[in-house]
């Protein structure tokens, strides 16, 4: 059974739809990549999924006992966070607050789970360190650990590798893959078709033309074929360039 089903959804701002008639669903264990050009409404769609803004039309159904506060979220970093004086542990624990209600302090179980999630993300030894002193990749791990404190069912990631160097980018993708294999459903926004093709189980393309389906059917679609064609051209072009220089 699916965790989240989106039916005829239109998203946008102030009554103006940017993107209409979006349909897709995410099952337990799925890895969905949302592809699209800049300005095609990817981020708006994500904000709507997270209830940060209201849908213009259509509906988002949460199923299989998924509550709206059980969607973990890895936002893009804000300027505020870059020099925020907070320790890694403080940030990771704050993932629990959505469900804390009016209870002012963290419980024992929550504290233990926070440690566990830091362990999972390989940042246990950084627990006391200040967030602003960490590298970009480490910061993303901290935010991922926080998201895991909020949920173990569904994570929504907004361009999680923006600003990371190639090595940190690879590590980030592998980490997300590992989480997915452990049973966490992933919805990831990316503009990198290569990544979608390599990691995702499903692809949602927003904008025109749009597409939703498994990765295999994406590769067999006109869009996918176009992409494959472009990639092989790029590869030969790169190879050609490389040859000329060397």
Binding residues for other proteins, rule: CB under 8 A, are 47, 50-52, 67-69, 71-73, 75, 78, 80-81, 83-87, 90-91, 93-95, 97-100, 104-106, 128-133, 143, 146-147, 150-151, 156
Nearer to other proteins, 139 or 169 (CB): 139
CB of 210 to other proteins, least distance (A): 24
Tokens of 2: 């699916």
Q: 174 pairs with which residues across the strands?
A: none
CA pair distance 160, 176, nearest whole angstrom = 10
Count of residues making up the chain: 246
Nearer to other proteins, 34 or 197 (CB): 34
Strands 211-214 and 71-74: unpaired
Nearer to other proteins, 31 or 131 (CB): 131
CB of 44 to other proteins, least distance (A): 13
Q: 27 pairs with which residues across the strands?
A: 2
CB of 148 to other proteins, least distance (A): 11
Nearer to other proteins, 179 or 197 (CB): 179
CB of 112 to other proteins, least distance (A): 17
In the chain, which ranges are continuous DSSP H helix? 42-49, 79-82, 88-93, 108-120, 136-150, 166-181, 193-199, 215-220, 222-245
């Amino acid at each position: 059974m699916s965790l989240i089903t989106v039916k005829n959804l239109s998203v946008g701002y102030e009554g103006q739809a940017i993107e209409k008639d979006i349909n897709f669903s995410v099952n337990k264990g799925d890895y969905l990549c949302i592809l699209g050009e800049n300005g095609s409404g990817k981020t708006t769609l994500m904000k709507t999924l997270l209830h940060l803004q209201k849908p213009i039309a259509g509906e988002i159904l949460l199923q299989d006992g998924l509550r709206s506060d059980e969607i973990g979220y890895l936002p893009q970093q804000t300027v505020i966070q870059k020099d925020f004086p907070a320790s890694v542990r403080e940030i990771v624990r704050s993932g629990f607050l959505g469900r804390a209600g009016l209870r002012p302090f963290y419980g024992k179980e929550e504290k233990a789970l926070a440690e566990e999630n830091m362990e999972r993300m390989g940042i246990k030894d950084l627990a006391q360190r200040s967030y602003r002193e960490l590298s970009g990749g480490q910061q993303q791990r901290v935010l991922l650990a926080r998201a895991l404190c909020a949920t173990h069912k569904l994570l929504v990631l907004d361009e999680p590798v923006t600003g990371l160097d190639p090595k940190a980018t690879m590590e980030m993708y592998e980490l997300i893959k590992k989480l997915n294999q452990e049973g966490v459903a992933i919805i990831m926004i990316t503009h990198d078709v290569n990544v979608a093709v390599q990691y995702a189980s499903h692809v949602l393309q927003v904008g025109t033309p749009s597409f939703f389906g498994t990765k295999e059917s994406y590769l067999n679609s006109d869009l996918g074929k176009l992409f494959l064609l472009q990639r092989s051209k790029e590869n030969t072009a790169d190879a050609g360039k490389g040859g000329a220089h060397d």
